[in-house]
Structure 1
Amino acid sequence: MEEDSDTTEILPADALSPEQEDPVGSPRCRAPPYSCPFSVTVQPVLFLATFSLALQMPLYTQYLWDRISEDLGYNGTKGGGCNSSAHDQLQKEVEILTAHWNMYINLGGFLVGLFVVILLGSWSDRAGRRLVLIIPSLGLAVQASIYLIVMYLKLPVAWFLLGRICSGLSGDFNAILAGCFAYVADTSDKSSRTFCVAILEACLGLAGMFASIIGGKWRHAQGYISPFWLVLATNLATALYAYLFIPESVTPDPEAKLFSGRHYRAVYDLYTSGGQRGHRVWLWLYTLCFFLVVTVHFGSRELYVLYELSAPLCWDSVLIGYGSAAQHLSYLSSLLGLKALQHCLEDSWVAIIGLASNMIGSVVFSVANTTALMFTGYGLSLLFMTSTPVLRSKLSKLVDPSEQGALFASVACVEGLCSLVASGLFNSLYPATLHIMKGFPFLFGAIVLLIPAGIIGGLKCQEQRMHNRETAVN
């Protein structure tokens, strides 16, 4: 990328003349086969991909629960409730096996995807962003196809691992995240980047909210297979939209190679090369904050369904759908809260407010023994997603425009690592602490979030002191 690329406006492809459309080294967008009639770019891609993921996740966990329950002869949650006394031991065995299979299957997919995301994300700096949106969408479609085969033929649940590995080999959902956020960094300035990132985060929540409501009612009416057909169709539609309507935000290099060690080297250099004013140290610290926050998010999300299925809540699929919808509604409420709070507070303080909302909600979840208390926890967590867009934006502002692809590849890699650690930690912690405190993992997550809150506040105070010194000198 040219040295003056950060001062060059990225124009829509249809504003370029034929002579200007693809000059060597130009950062201007290249036209897709068709123009989208609306003023959107990657937002529909993230919306559709998230919709398919949020539609299948609760159903997938419930399918594991039902299959394992059937194998063990447990029917405590069928026919209108669960018995916390007569079937208590058998229910705990179902919970433990479901949590463990969740962990095994997710670990398999994320271990593979962890390395592929780096390749795809860093490669997109030279090959273009569109391919990084299309390839993982097709991989997720393959995963949905394998899941359908497992359900139709009633194969052992271990076959789900094959689907997760196929998805991981294509970069999985994290590659789509990397491509979308890198695209926004390409096409936004620093002053508006936090809110642009928050819009993408809101797409995550809005899609998840719709999928959760639809999935619970659909599964209750028709079982598991029909919703997974929609998952397959949505992933194929995501790939098709990315190919037909999204203009390139970087000029593709026809000589760019996917399988090259330079992609790993780019991420390595990003975190090890010297930076002005200690920015590389700040990069590490904000990355640590992002890791802790997202790990708690992922770990808690994996346990919500198990927590709600079992005694004393004993929710059915409809209530689980409403619970997931309430959780995903926080993405939209966080976007509105972020926009409102930015008028009177710096981004760092907005992030700390979001972490406080998350911690309070988690404490309530840890002691929730009624439906009303569980939804109270969801209500108190309405601002919990204001922290992640702030952290993504701060990371993006710390690096050069030519490093955005490598940065978001590393962020996607961190997200994959978050899922791996969260799946292993929380799915192991939950069965291990059932006899002590059923909601202990949520309380544990609230305690962990104190660390990023302290780091973000400390860095903001240091930034303010540096600014005051510079002002005094000038």
Structure 2
Amino acid sequence: MEDSDTSAILAEDESESGDSNNVCCFKVPQNQSPPPCSCPWSMTVEPVIFLSTFSIALQAPLCTQYLWDRLSEDVGYNGTKQGGCNASTAHDPLQKEVETLTAHWTLYINLGGFLVGLIMVTLLGSWSDHAGRRLVLILPSIGLAIQAGVYLIVMYLKLPVFWFLVGRICSGLSGDFNAILAGCFAYVADTSGKGSRTFRVAILEACLGLAGMFASIIGGQWLRAKGYIYPFWLVLATNLATALYVFLFVPETVTPNPEAKLLSTRHHRAVWRLYASDTEQGRRVKLWLYTLCFFLVVAVHMGSSELYVLYELSSPLCWGPELIGYGSAVKHLAYLTSLMGLRLMQCCLEDSWVALVGLTSNVVGLIVISFAKTTPLMFLGYGVGFLFMASTPVLRSKLSKLVEPSEQGALFASVACVEGLSSLVASLVFNAIYPATLHSMKGFPFLFGAAILFFPAAIIGGLGCQEKRERSENGEGSGFS
């Protein structure tokens, strides 16, 4: 607990006294110098996560489509470019080869970024408990800007797609997007009380969706009109703008320790102690179980998301960039509908049951998509999953409430690593299943994901019943937190 003026414990008592609507404002610690400029809005890291997500959501589907186009050139396939993609091309061997190569290169790029980022996110997250949150938000933004620069060079010079992997590793060395997630969620934990934390976390999740929705619409239209180059210049500019915003406007919430070192094994030990010690009876078991639930939910989300573009590009859907953009926008709209649904459900349901409703929506959406052979049915699948993101803010909040204020950075660093690991495992599993089931049942990976979600649903339901029973025994009433 050494340098923990963790700030913001400031809001810890605020929420318990009932002021849970003040979700964005907080005071800078008295011994902290303010940022160079005062922010004109009553928000802090919301623009950070919005801008970073916008850049990621803009480039991710474009990268997949760029890989598809480049690899199509390499194998001599031009079916989609000449309008030849239709039901009759379903068994075209060249199309299957392009799909397989694209899935494999997506896996290699994600694997490279994860292996490097796994070490760096753990260091940066725990380090932020001692050195401050601002640096952990600035460094990954610069790394993502470097990655966009490398991608632009690949496109201008027509370099081999291997260089995409190099760009991703450059981003991983700075913590990648997961470090920004860890920093933002730790920042919110610093500045919110237990009563308002779930909704504060849900606001950040909604920023993810709002940014993704705008990026998807812009990316599809822009790619169709101008090609790949201009959108990636915007990705580069957005990441630089994010770093500048943090430097100018975001106040610090942790009193920096000048002796805190980044390259130290103490940061990894802090994460280990978090999950190994049992300071409160049952805390360790709950941490592991909620982390397992988070891993499975995110793995299904990441794995299915990686396949959506491939699923839509090929027959029988044969979508172009514009439809892919609209489909991704509708999918990201679920972040906002999940936020509104979560807020409404919290009026009458405990957080555990809110998460179960979100998982149910996710399962139904995946089942519909797995049988989608037409455009309306695909959009229907996106639509019925309108609450699919209601479970992840509940899980983040429950994890945050189990640890001390001085452990928030270490916790969300570990959560970011779990998120990265789940993304990697999802890439390995889903990108292996998809090519293997192309000829038998193309939508099987989505059915597989829906089946996996029954496991976290059972765990969350069981823990929810246990927590309700414990509150009853302690005479605390039911509550909704």
When normalised by structure 1's length, the TM-score is: 0.95
SS in 1 for 2:282: helix
Give 2:55's match in structure 1, choosing from 38, 52, 77: 52
Cα distance per residue 1:53-101 (max 9 Å; x no partner): 0000011000000011111111111133404435611111110000000
C-alpha distance in 1 between matches for 2:449 and 2:135: 36
Give 1:70's match in structure 2, choosing from 69, 73, 89: 73
> For residue 30 of structure 2, what is the aligned residue in structure 1?
21
Kindly state the Cα deviation for residue 21 of structure 1 after the two structures are TM-superposed.
3.3
2:42 counterpart of 1:39: yes
Residues 368 and 377 of structure 2 are in contact (CA less than 8 Å); yes or no, is this contact kept in structure 1? yes
> For residue 9 of structure 1, what is the aligned residue in structure 2?
10
> For residue 281 of structure 1, what is the aligned residue in structure 2?
285
Give 1:305's match in structure 2, choosing from 281, 302, 309: 309
Change in CA separation of 1:275 and 1:81 when aligned onto 2, cut-off 3 Å: farther
Opposite residue 9 of structure 1, the aligned amino acid is L
Change in CA separation of 1:259 and 1:411 when aligned onto 2, cut-off 3 Å: same
Opposite residue 51 of structure 1, the aligned amino acid is F
C-alpha distance in 2 between matches for 1:128 and 1:469: 40
**Unmatched runs of 5 consecutive residues or more in structure 1:** 23-28
Change in CA separation of 1:318 and 1:250 when aligned onto 2, cut-off 3 Å: same
Opposite residue 177 of structure 1, the aligned amino acid is L
Alignment of 1:74-473 (within 5 A): 74-85=77-88, 88-471=92-475
Opposite residue 73 of structure 1, the aligned amino acid is G
Residues 126 and 252 of structure 1 are in contact (CA less than 8 Å); yes or no, is this contact kept in structure 2? yes
SS in 1 for 2:475: helix
Residues 68 and 102 of structure 2 are in contact (CA less than 8 Å); yes or no, is this contact kept in structure 1? yes
Residues 30 and 251 of structure 1 are in contact (CA less than 8 Å); yes or no, is this contact kept in structure 2? no
Change in CA separation of 1:314 and 1:138 when aligned onto 2, cut-off 3 Å: same
C-alpha distance in 2 between matches for 1:288 and 1:420: 15
C-alpha distance in 1 between matches for 2:123 and 2:435: 36
C-alpha distance in 2 between matches for 1:468 and 1:200: 32
C-alpha distance in 2 between matches for 1:216 and 1:467: 50
Residues 10 and 26 of structure 2 are in contact (CA less than 8 Å); yes or no, is this contact kept in structure 1? no
SS in 2 for 1:383: coil
SS in 2 for 1:276: coil
C-alpha distance in 2 between matches for 1:74 and 1:41: 48
Question: Which ranges of 4 or more aligned residues in structure 1 deviate by more than 4 Å?
Answer: 1-8, 10-16
Change in CA separation of 1:465 and 1:15 when aligned onto 2, cut-off 3 Å: closer
Matched positions, count: 464
Kindly state the Cα deviation for residue 471 of structure 1 after the two structures are TM-superposed.
2.9
C-alpha distance in 1 between matches for 2:421 and 2:353: 26
Opposite residue 180 of structure 1, the aligned amino acid is C
When normalised by structure 2's length, the TM-score is: 0.93
Kindly state the Cα deviation for residue 109 of structure 1 after the two structures are TM-superposed.
0.8
Change in CA separation of 1:15 and 1:48 when aligned onto 2, cut-off 3 Å: closer
> For residue 25 of structure 1, what is the aligned residue in structure 2?
none
> For residue 26 of structure 1, what is the aligned residue in structure 2?
none
**Unmatched runs of 5 consecutive residues or more in structure 2:** 15-23, 477-481
C-alpha distance in 2 between matches for 1:184 and 1:279: 21
User: What CA RMSD, in Å, does the superposition of the two structures yield over aligned residues?
Assistant: 1.9
Change in CA separation of 1:121 and 1:7 when aligned onto 2, cut-off 3 Å: closer
Residues 331 and 385 of structure 1 are in contact (CA less than 8 Å); yes or no, is this contact kept in structure 2? yes
Opposite residue 59 of structure 1, the aligned amino acid is L
> For residue 64 of structure 2, what is the aligned residue in structure 1?
61
Opposite residue 39 of structure 1, the aligned amino acid is S
Residues 30 and 249 of structure 1 are in contact (CA less than 8 Å); yes or no, is this contact kept in structure 2? no
